[in-house]
Amino acid sequence: MADIAPPASTPLRVRNLTRRFGRNTVLHGLELDLAPGSFTALLGRSGSGKSTLLRTLAGLDPAPAEAVLDLPRPVSVVFQEPRLLPWKKVWQNVALGLGGGDARGRAARALEEVGLGRHLEAWPATLSGGEAQRAALARALVREPRLLLLDEPFAALDALTRIRMHSLVLDLWRHHGPTTLIVTHDVDEAVLLADRVLVLDGGRIAADLTVDLPRPRRHADPGFATLRRRLLGELGVDLQEAA
Amino acid sequence: MPDTQAAVAPRALTEKTLRVPTEKLPRVVIPARLRRFLSPLALVLLWQAASMAGLISPRTLAAPSTVLASAWELVLSGELPSHLLVSLGRVLVGLGIGLSAGVALALIAGLSKRGEEVVDAPMQMLRTLPFLALVPLFILWFGIGETPKIALVALGAAFPVYLTLFAGIRGVEPKLVEAAQVFGLDRRGLVRHVILPGALPSALVGLRYALGSAWLSLVIAEQINATAGIGFLINDAREFLRTDVIVVGLLVYALLGLGADALVRLAERRALAWRPTLVKG
């Protein structure tokens, strides 16, 4: 798949995004710019509006008329749960809604890329949690998205599977080069994966940090610990407590 | 499991208590499947013995042997096959109408909010009526020919399918619908790939209920001045105190019901091969 040159992409630009649920303002005139092909992590406490932002970008929640949303397209999403249709075989799930010819061949190649080449004909119910989430990744990638949204995609996986998924996601991102935004509550995951980490608080971007560490990144790196401490501070976690 | 139990038990747990009897009894191992039929068979034999001993009068209940002989005669004379065809015809036509109506109404109510407003309230009200109580009204409306019989079967089949398909459509996991939307499925694609397959397990349960209900409706309907059909065979036999023929008719009803249920279960196994309970490894 390395032979597919990422097509020229537009930057992501969000202006004046306000979302209210009743009297509760979740996003407050939010502004966001993401460079084409960048990998950004969005951190925030629960209820900080990070999921609302991602759902709005994915087109699942309506954007208010006064908001500006310039997004690279097509957009693909990987949810926290795999959300595979249990009545369709794995390859059919990946090929779901795929326009153009040879849907099966493209689905098969995407599944091979995530290491599920032998599970094309399997029912989703027979997959492990990690395998199902890899199938969900294949389903997102087969559409060759220019914007890839990941909504806490590894939160439900065990620690070992999560480590493997991290390197898989980085590989796929390098090969395909979509602008990638991962929503997570895991500071380590954010620093490990992303080039830029945003902290959402009170409906606004409260912190914007560049992660300037060489890959592959290690927890033992002193820069890693510094960033981690700063981010935890932004999230309101007492450092002495956290350590 | 029971086979091995029978073979292993004497040496294992039950050594002391069972040693004496197991040594004396010949070891006949009956497969578990057949063992289920032992007690019904014993009951039939008991019934036969009681009949032969004169404990059960043929006017009360004919002996199993008489029932079998009468069944054979009825088959040979062509009487049973012709009545069976009439009954089957009523059920098939009634089911065809009832299932179509139930599915159509469930799709209207399940797939659109306005459809639900229009369709669901009257359906929920009507379903509380015991539909068999409509027989007098049906006779007034449709006379005593084939129409009220078919209408009753159709009515009996329509409600279970409507209720389960409607509930199935509404019960489809919203997260799956959302994911399919993200991946570009339009309304038609959603219905075809997500909503209908998701509602299918529930609808198939409804189909089994509908078949059961259709047979019940047929039995009642065939009491209405029938001149052919299994129900007529039974009523006619009553006039002549032929309990053997009545039992034959009852057996045919039972076998038809069993057969229909087996068909739906087969369909379920094929259509729902993806379900975790049916998926192997």
Ordered DSSP codes for B30-93: PPHHHHTTHHHHHHHHHHHHHHHTTSS-TTT---HHHHHHHHHHHHHTTHHHHHHHHHHHHHHH
| CB-based contact B182 A125, cutoff 8 Å | no
Return the pLDDT at B10.
Answer: 44
| CB-based contact A85 B178, cutoff 8 Å | no
ipTM for the predicted complex comes to: 0.90
Chain A hits for B175, Cβ within 8 Å:
79, 81, 83
| Ramachandran sector of residue A159 (left: φ over 0; alpha: ψ -120 to 50; beta: rest) | alpha
Q: How far is A125 from chain B (nearest CA, A)?
A: 6
Residue B1 within a domain: no
For B166-211, write each residue's pLDDT tens digit: 999 999 999 999 999 999 999 999 999 999 999 999 999 999 999 9
Q: Which of A164, A186, A153 is nearest to A45 (CA)?
A: A186
* A 84-113: CB under 8 A from B: 85-88, 96-99
Percent of chain B topping pLDDT 70: 89
Average pLDDT for residues B137-157, to the nearest whole number? 93
Give the CATH number for residue B129. Answer: 1.10.3720.10
For chain B, the C-alpha Rg in angstroms (whole number) is: 25
Structural domains in chain A, sorted by start: 12-74+145-242 (3.40.50.300), 84-143 (no CATH)
Ordered DSSP codes for chain A: -TTSPPPP-PPEEEEEEEEEETTEEEEEEEEEEE-TT-EEEEEE-TTSSHHHHHHHHTTSSPPPTT-EEE--SSEEEE-SS----TTS-HHHHHHTT--SS-HHHHHHHHHHHTT-GGGTT--GGGS-HHHHHHHHHHHHHTT--SEEEEESTTTTS-HHHHHHHHHHHHHHHHHH--EEEEEES-HHHHHHH-SEEEEEETTEEEEEEE---PSSP-TTSHHHHHHHHHHHHHTT--HHHH-
Residue B67 within a domain: no
Provide the number of structural domains found in chain B: 1
Give the pair of three-digit tokens for residue B15: 């050594």
| CB-based contact B179 A75, cutoff 8 Å | no
Residues A185 and A44 sit within 8 Å (Cβ to Cβ): yes
Residues A70-104: b if buried by 16+ CB within 10 A, e if exposed: ebbebbbbbbbbbbbbbbbbbbbbbbbbbeeeebe
Percent of chain B topping pLDDT 90: 77
Residues A117 and A54 sit within 8 Å (Cβ to Cβ): no
Return the pLDDT at B4.
Answer: 44
pLDDT at B23 over 80: no
Residue B169 within a domain: yes
Residue B216 within a domain: yes
B201 at A interface, C-beta within 8 A:
no
Residues of chain A predicted below pLDDT 50: 1-3, 5, 242-243
How far apart CA A89 and CA A138 sit, in angstroms, is 13
Residue B240 within a domain: yes
Return the pLDDT at B178.
Answer: 95
Chain A hits for B194, Cβ within 8 Å:
85
Segment (H or E) for B259: helix B243-271
Partners of A19 in the beta sheet?
A: A27
Distance from the Cα of residue B1 to its chain's centroid: 30
Residue B115 within a domain: yes
Give the pair of three-digit tokens for residue A35: 């460079």
Residue B34 within a domain: no
Segment (H or E) for B281: none
A76 at B interface, C-beta within 8 A:
yes
| CB-based contact A96 B193, cutoff 8 Å | yes
Residue B281 within a domain: no
- Tokens 């029978």 identify what position? B6
B279 at A interface, C-beta within 8 A:
yes
B281 at A interface, C-beta within 8 A:
yes
B193 at A interface, C-beta within 8 A:
yes
Partners of A40 in the beta sheet?
A: A181, A196
Residue B236: domain span: 79-271
Judged on CB neighbours under 10 Å (0-12, 13-18, 19+), B155 is buried
DSSP B115: H
pLDDT at B281 over 50: no
For B96-136, write each residue's pLDDT tens digit: 999 999 999 999 999 999 999 999 999 999 999 888 888 99
Do the bridges between strand A24-34 and strand A12-21 make them parallel or antiparallel, or are there none, so unpaired?
Answer: antiparallel
Tally of CB atoms within 10 A around A135 = 25
